[in-house]
């Protein structure tokens, strides 16, 4: 867990972003174009094609690629291997678009401080550029990492991302990058438009047991997308789908509701707390639809 002194220091450093969030509320601006997507991740126990048709049937127009899916024989197969040629990413994107699903985000599946982190992240950006996937997601180890190396590598990756028309986004995952304020401190130091923050409120509450609402106000100016998951501490400590947990999504999205930007909201966890996960894909489809409808109501409310 992040020491309170460290969190307070990051809070002080984030005051400019907090003022920006207040400015959004004080002055009329263009609405954020929230792009509600579902990750294929909730269907990881089923083939990728079944995930895509499930997302389509649940009423989504956007998709985010997960990590692996069980294909014939029950073996987990990567959605897109780290070393797959960019042409393979382009083919996968076309497969999604044939179903009316626009891909918005893909996992990097590697920590920035990994020995081959720079090489893999560079190739992931090339894959995304070829497929016209606007964002590549990365995050750190739950026990923390080498912040100095993060900044050095992200500074190298920023221009590559921009040249490819892609955004590299960093989300909270415990350790020293467990809060939005911590991630924003890194992206501000990197100071490159190709590297920004993805916000995962569920992870902030899960790993650090912190309320994400004060935290997002400290980094709103750096946020360019969300991994949507909720969290409950009672009656069981577990992540869950949006609206099933203790996080107020009206308060979560309000600080970024009038940025004039396009902002993906990618549902990572859609499951109900306390209950077993569906054994059939149709049950996952139903939960995906519920998550989409919940987010659409919240968005309509805060932007009304």
pLDDT at 18: 53
Domain span at residue 297 reads 37-302
The CATH number covering residue 252 comes to 3.20.20.150
44 located within any domain: yes
**How much is the average pLDDT of 112-130?**
97
- Indicate the pLDDT class of residue 176, thresholds 50, 70 and 90: confident
Q: Is residue 207 part of a domain?
A: yes
Cα separation of 178 and 215, whole Å? 10
Report whether 93 contacts 64 (CB < 8 A).
no
The number of folded domains in the chain is 1
- Average predicted confidence (pLDDT) for the chain: 93
- In this predicted structure, what is the pLDDT of residue 25? 46
Answer whether residue 21 is part of any domain.
no
Percent of the chain with pLDDT over 70: 91
In a domain, 194, yes or no: yes
61-120 pLDDT, tens per residue? 999 999 999 998 899 999 999 999 999 999 999 999 999 999 999 999 999 999 999 999
Residue 30 lies inside a defined structural domain of this protein: no
Report whether pLDDT(304) > 50: yes
256 assigned to some structural domain: yes
Q: Which two tokens stand for residue 300?
A: 């309509």
Whether 18 maps to a domain, the answer reads no
CB-count burial class (<10 Å; 0-12, 13-18, 19+) for 264: buried
Residue 4 lies in a domain: no
**Residues 247-286 pLDDT 10s:** 999 999 999 999 999 999 999 999 999 999 999 999 999 9
pLDDT range class, residue 11, cuts 50, 70, 90:
low
- In this predicted structure, the answer to whether residue 21 has a pLDDT above a threshold of 70 is no
Choice between 28 and 260, residue whose per-residue pLDDT is larger: 260
pTM as predicted: 0.90
């Amino acid at each position: 867990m992040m020491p309170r002194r460290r969190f307070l220091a990051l809070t002080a450093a984030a005051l400019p972003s907090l003022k920006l969030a207040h400015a959004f509320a004080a002055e009329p601006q263009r609405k954020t174009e929230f792009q509600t997507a579902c990750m294929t991740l909730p269907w990881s126990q089923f083939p990728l094609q079944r995930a895509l048709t499930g997302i389509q049937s649940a009423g989504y127009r956007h998709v985010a690629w997960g990590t692996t899916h069980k294909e014939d024989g029950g073996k987990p197969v990567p959605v897109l291997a780290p070393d797959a040629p960019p042409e393979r990413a382009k083919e996968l994107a076309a497969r999604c678009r044939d179903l009316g699903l626009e891909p918005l985000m893909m996992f990097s599946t590697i920590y920035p401080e990994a020995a081959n982190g720079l090489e893999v992240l560079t190739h992931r950006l090339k894959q995304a550029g070829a497929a016209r996937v606007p964002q590549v997601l990365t995050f750190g180890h739950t026990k923390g990492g080498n912040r100095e190396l993060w900044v050095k590598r992200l500074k190298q990756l920023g221009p590559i991302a921009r040249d490819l028309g892609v955004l590299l986004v960093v989300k909270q995952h415990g350790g020293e990058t467990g809060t939005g304020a911590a991630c924003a401190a890194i992206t501000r130091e990197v100071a490159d438009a190709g590297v920004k923050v993805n916000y995962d409120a569920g992870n902030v509450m899960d790993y650090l047991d912190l309320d994400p609402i004060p935290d997002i106000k400290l980094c709103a100016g750096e946020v360019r997308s969300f991994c949507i998951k909720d969290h409950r501490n009672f009656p069981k400590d577990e992540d869950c789908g949006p609206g099933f947990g203790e996080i107020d999504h009206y308060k979560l999205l309000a600080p970024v509701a009038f940025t004039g930007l396009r902002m993906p909201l990618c549902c990572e966890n859609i499951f109900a707390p306390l209950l077993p996960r569906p054994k059939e894909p149709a049950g996952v489809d139903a939960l995906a639809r519920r998550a989409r409808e919940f987010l659409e109501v919240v968005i309509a409310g805060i932007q009304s």
